[in-house]
Structure formats: structure tokens, C-alpha cells
């Protein structure tokens, strides 16, 4: 329809269909670099080829990350065959945009992803002094004697004197590539109250001076290998085990990502904005979550009072017994999921 402003509002005058979806990505839409054929059929169905004869809204909610939202949406859209807008996309660290003002001009350490990609993402969120463990090695190679910076790594470091740069927080954005280096530097930061190489201070019994934030609790996830891969949740287990061995206790931390309530509330706000964008109306109903990991996708959706559909194309394998969290329905794949959900609303 054309409004007086001449702007084309897609469906602005028609009623939204009586349902919407939140899709997990790994193990539902893709497996590693490969798009699942069922995903293309499911999105074609939602884009209009369905009994409502109109676009059924959906957003993507992943514990993945490591690159910027715009870049990931461009890559996903090209693979899936339908445009994915950043307004319908939430990855593990998207929620961190909310907390940027608190750290705008404070040095923070960001872990995960390739070289300085995540540092650039953090700075685009407003963390102007985001730094990496490669920056630490460039300052003092003896921090971790077992990794020599490659030319490509050195090229993306900056010269910082960390003895004079107290780190205010450590954010684990995505899966660290060098667990040993990242565990060592994170232990240095947290044991010395933010000053790498500084005297150890005990944070027992008081609010820890340096905040530690993880963005994805997944112990495992499904890529294109025949068995699930260990994820950022496994790095957290490794880090906390080393920190406990060194200090006698784990370090207090904040956890975001599926299944946390904060992430599901953030995703529901995003979905409502997307619905408003498409139909000029917010959500009157809870969405259908389609996921492959009972511990993250189904657990989080159930707690958020969404409907939850568990597919067999990812982490969950029926041969291993019933899922730890009971979904509304177990389906073969994402196409069966969307067709089943639409049938419930006809």
C-alpha cells in the first residue's frame, strides 16, 4: 500500500498472520558452511507461499557470533536466498550494545573470533577502548612464551602499555582461537584487579573489581562434522577450572546467550520491533522457537513461555534418548516445524 508520504509500507494496512517464528541458526538452518535444503523451503513458505498468503514474520537468534551483525546478515542472506536484515538478527554478543555506555571510555578485553574482528565489533558497539590478548602479546611476549605473533596478527595489534592500562571488564564475545593464551591473560587480568603483571589481589567477599561476561553458554553445538563440537561453554569450563586451581574458587561472572532470560527478553523486543516494521503492529502472541539444542533453544523458549519446536538436524539426536527439556513438539527439520506451527493457527 502507498501511504500519503508515498513510502511503501509492506502490509502496513493488512493484519499480521497469527504467528511468528524465532529461528536458531547452527543445526537448524545451516551446518557449518552448508545451508540445509529444508531451510530454503521453510523460508520460501514463510515469505508468502503459505495458507495466509502473506509474509509470516521471523527473526534469527543464534549463540554464534565473532563478526558484525551487518556482515553476518549479508552472508546469511546470500546463503539462504532471502535478505536477512540486522533488525531481524540477534547473535550471542548483540545484547552487549546495551551496556556500552558503562564502558565507553574504559579499557576492556574482548575474547574470541579471528585477530581484531571482534575488537572492531566491540568498538562499533561503543566500547572505544576494546583490546585483545594479541595486543597484550605485542606489549610483552613473555606474558605467554608459547605463542609468537604471526605477521598478520602483529599487523592488527596496537601499542598499549598494559602495566598502565587497568582493564575494567573481560567480554567473551565468541569462541577463543588460542585457549591457552586467552586463559593465561584473563587469569592475569582477574588475579591482579585489571593490571596485567600487577600484584595479585584477593577479591573474596567483595564485588570483584573486574567484570567477567560470557555471551554463549553452549557446551556443544552442531557444525558440519558428524558429531557436535565443543563451544564457548567449554572454554568457560576450562577457564574457571584453571582459575579455581590457581585461586581456590571460580570467578563470579555474568552469562548471556540462549537460554538466559536476558537474551530471550532482548530477542522478544527485537521480534516486536520487526513485527511493527512489517505490519505496524506489535506482537499479541508468543512466537514459535525452532531449535536443535534442548539445553539452549528449548530450555530458553520454554522459560519465556514461547512454543518450542525441536529439530533432529543438529545437536539433538533421538538415539541418545529424550531431550533434557521437553519441547512443544519434536519435528524432523525446520520445514516440518513451520508447516506444523501454521496448521495449529489455521
Residue 300 interacts with Mg ion (CB under 5 A)? Answer: no
Q: Which is nearer to Mg ion, 112 or 291 (CB)?
A: 291
Q: Which is nearer to ligand G3P, 221 or 266 (CB)?
A: 221
Name the pairing type of β-strands 220-221 and 58-61. Answer: unpaired
Q: Which is nearer to Mg ion, 182 or 333 (CB)?
A: 333
Q: Which is nearer to ligand G3P, 107 or 217 (CB)?
A: 217
Residue 116 interacts with Mg ion (CB under 5 A)? Answer: no
- For residue 312, the minimal CB distance to ligand G3P (Å) is 14
- For residue 28, the minimal CB distance to ligand G3P (Å) is 7
- For residue 291, the minimal CB distance to Mg ion (Å) is 6
By a kind-dependent CB cut-off of 5 to 8 A, residue 42 interacts, out of ligand G3P, Mg ion, none, with: none
Q: Rounded to whole angstroms, what are the CA distances from 66 to 202, 263, 301?
A: 32, 17, 24
For residue 70, the SS3 value is: helix
Choices 27-35, 229-237, 266-274, 325-333; region in contact with Mg ion by CB under 5 A: 27-35
Q: What is the DSSP letter of 35?
A: E
Residue 292 interacts with Mg ion (CB under 5 A)? Answer: yes
| Among the listed residues 214, 315, 294, the one whose alpha carbon sits nearest the alpha carbon of residue 262 | 214
By a kind-dependent CB cut-off of 5 to 8 A, residue 63 interacts, out of Mg ion, ligand G3P, none, with: ligand G3P
Cis peptide before 259 (omega within 30 of 0): yes
Query: 137-140, long-range: CB within 8 Å, 24+ apart, which pairs?
Result: 137/181, 140/197
Q: Which is nearer to ligand G3P, 218 or 333 (CB)?
A: 218
- For residue 78, the minimal CB distance to Mg ion (Å) is 20
Q: Which is nearer to ligand G3P, 17 or 27 (CB)?
A: 27
Helix 37-46, helix 69-80: angle, nearest 10: 100
Q: Which residues pair with 311 in a beta bridge?
A: 331
Choices 19-27, 140-148, 178-186, 273-281; region in contact with Mg ion by CB under 5 A: 19-27
Written as nine digits, the cell of 197 is 603483571
| Among the listed residues 256, 335, 292, the one whose alpha carbon sits nearest the alpha carbon of residue 91 | 256
By a kind-dependent CB cut-off of 5 to 8 A, residue 218 interacts, out of Mg ion, ligand G3P, none, with: ligand G3P
| Among the listed residues 173, 62, 186, the one whose alpha carbon sits nearest the alpha carbon of residue 124 | 173
> How far is 127 from 105, CA to CA, in rounded Å?
7
- Residues found near ligand G3P in the complex (CB under 6 A): 24-27, 62-64, 216, 218, 221, 231, 293
Q: Which helix (H) or strand (E) holds 307?
A: strand 307-311
Q: Which residue ranges make up the site for Mg ion (CB under 5 A)?
A: 24, 26-27, 292-293, 314
Amino acid at each position: 500500500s502507498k501511504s500519503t508520504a508515498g513510502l511503501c509500507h509492506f502490509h502496513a494496512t493488512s493484519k499480521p498472520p497469527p504467528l511468528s517464528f524465532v529461528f536458531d541458526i547452527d543445526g537448524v538452518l545451516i551446518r557449518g558452511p552448508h545451508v540445509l535444503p529444508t531451510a530454503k523451503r521453510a523460508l520460501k513458505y514463510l515469505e508468502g507461499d503459505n495458507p495466509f498468503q502473506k509474509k509470516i514474520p521471523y527473526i534469527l537468534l543464534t549463540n554464534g557470533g565473532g563478526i558484525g551483525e551487518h556482515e553476518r546478515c549479508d552472508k546469511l542472506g546470500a546463503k539462504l536466498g532471502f535478505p536477512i536484515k540486522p533488525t531481524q538478527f540477534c547473535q550471542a554478543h548483540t545484547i552487549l550494545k546495551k551496556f556500552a555506555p558503562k564502558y565507553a571510555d574504559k579499557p576492556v578485553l574482548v575474547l574470541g573470533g579471528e585477530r581484531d574482528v571482534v575488537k572492531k565489533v566491540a568498538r562499533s558497539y561503543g566500547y572505544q577502548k576494546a583490546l585483545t590478548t594479541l595486543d597484550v602479546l605485542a606489549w610483552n611476549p613473555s606474558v605467554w612464551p608459547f605463542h609468537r605473533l604471526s605477521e598478520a596478527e602483529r599487523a592488527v595489534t596496537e601499542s598499549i602499555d598494559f602495566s598502565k592500562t587497568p582493564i575494567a571488564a573481560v567480554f567473551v564475545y565468541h569462541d577463543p582461537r588460542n585457549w591457552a593464551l586467552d586463559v593465561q591473560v584473563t587469569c592475569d587480568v582477574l588475579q591482579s584487579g585489571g593490571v596485567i603483571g600487577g600484584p595479585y589481589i584477593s577479591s573474596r567477599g567483595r564485588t570483584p573489581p573486574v567484570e567477567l561476561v560470557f555471551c554463549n553458554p553452549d557446551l556443544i553445538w552442531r557444525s558440519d562434522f558428524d558429531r557436535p563440537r565443543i563451544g564457548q561453554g567449554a572454554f568457560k569450563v576450562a577457564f574457571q577450572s584453571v582459575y579455581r586451581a590457581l585461586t581456590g574458587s571460580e570467578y563470579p561472572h555474568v552469562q548471556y546467550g540462549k537460554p538466559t532470560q536476558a537474551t530471550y527478553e532482548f530477542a522478544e523486543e527485537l521480534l516486536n520491533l520487526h513485527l511493527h516494521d512489517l505490519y505496524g503492529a506489535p506482537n499479541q502472541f508468543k512466537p514459535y522457537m525452532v531449535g536443535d539444542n534442548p539445553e539452549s533453544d528449548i530450555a530458553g523458549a520454554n522459560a519465556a513461555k514461547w512454543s518450542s519446536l525441536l529439530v533432529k538436524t543438529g545437536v539433538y539426536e533421538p538415539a541418545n534418548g529424550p531431550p533434557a527439556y521437553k519441547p512443544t513438539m519434536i519435528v524432523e527439520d525446520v520445514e516440518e516445524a513451520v508447516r506444523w506451527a501454521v496448521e495449529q493457527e489455521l
